Structure 1
């Protein structure tokens, strides 16, 4: 017997802001809280978005181009728009999780970033046909990391992302959302009051016969069991932080194994960008982990131009953090990014309407990019430069631009 959704409504939304509103209405408070959380006072997460609003456009009134292109070839992939899916952990906001996101990425012609803290396996995700970049933290011993690289390569991953911009060690001024170690009967009873007032969310899982999965199958050792999220977190906490020699080793191991791109996520400083080039990476993402790392780090859009000017002729420069609109994407590209990564935006779409919600978010961004190009009188994203923006004095943060220290 097919269950009909008693809360069915018009699933389409016209902005990422509306997707966020719907996610907030649908999700239990701790789940939604995990999506919006930023470290300490939340200064960085706020600046990630506010800084985009400081950049303006000067549109033309005539001479607009009838056709506009936003296609771009990056890291061996042909993208239909310069927006990629950033890897995020344990996407239990929807029963299909990362598989739904990957299907949306494939449908809309972009790359899927898959976290090794994901709730779906790399094999399930690559089976969707989405070009997948597998993400790893620096956790475990080197032989364990090699085993994980080999598994991702065997599954068909088209690139590897090493994420280093994460500490997860600071509290939050308003309190951290409670995340259970696993979902069992006792956990369900304890969280029942919060879940009961969000019946649409549990109905999604109920019709599939599943419960939210907080294990991390991509960290499952051969012949062993997949650890829980906090088991994976413990491994990270007990692993010695990496050096630049470790980064070079990781890049070399992956490229020798696969011959495919290696991306370093978490670069903010110009001197670190130069070190990344020396370590042999193919791309960097200018990132502050969406405001979940060291609070007080300025917005990534403030750092991308100095970084791009320093290394953009040598490697691909990506940006993530605070992207909510197509105009944000255009501003990032004008400031020197080759493409952007999105995180919270697609998670809200996933929570709101599954795969279709993620596709909706990508369509919203596509429409915003096209509108900005139209207003600027451009025919392609390739024509974007800082001259197309109104940039206030002192906007850039060229951190480490003159540092020679190791």
Structure 2
């Protein structure tokens, strides 16, 4: 097989984690279900401690089904030393933060963070004695002015999942490294296919693999991938917190991973077409999409990213939240539901100002967040056209 350093991303997505001893000739690593592993002797059982990746010991420590997924994800993130699996993206964020923070520390948390991340900071980290300071996502290298003696970590999310600002990740990471801080990022929107976080200087990259990795809206899973400096801490903390992903969910994520590249490119193509169409509509005041020149941080997207996924938002002219909600309720091809990243299109309200404290968020009118799925894009546009016509008549 070609040296892994020479394989291109799509090839690594297809080939990663398919060790012969794990697949036994089956193309995709099969589902290994197990709790107890039997040993030939007491000596062999005792020698299995401490547990190691790739060696059967106990179900919580994984089987080839989980190892294959973790190894494949590590392979598509240059600079990674390992990946741990979690039962959800929120669990992945929580354990990553617990791994790097102690009472008395301070974390600088981006103000555009995913709401459950913010809730964890406010309801778990703060009561345990960790100071949480929220910062403007567009602060860039100016973040150095916020770093104090207690500061231990900087958390990024680029783009913000409701407001879509693209952060200056390399600039912030350069400052962090110079000051001896650990950096973490929620890279769910882009995945390593469109943004290689560790190559940009991040220490720990987190994915809600429920979304684009699984890709079919039928499994919950989170992942944490870390560089060599922080991997032992992530691995150990995950173990002592008893974090585990069942083999069936891991299998679904691995199967979804194999088509990640082609799916993302289709999501991107369709989403750009929908966003460009929306931009020309009289009922729409603004498109919140990193590929658009007026999106905050667009220049960072151009510099650092290889593409854009299917998630973006738009602002409506005039009207109110009730009219916006009626628009969403009347759509035929867009579902209404939490999460995104599957094959289906979704539409939800996007009220970023409700969770902002360090930076102001102003909008001309109510906002709608869209996830553009794999349906025919012209059907989606026609559906939105009918919805906007209804909105225009009621606004």
TM-score (norm 1): 0.28
Structure 1 or 2, whichever has the larger Rg, is 2
Bigger relative CO (Cα 8 Å, ≥ 6 apart):
1
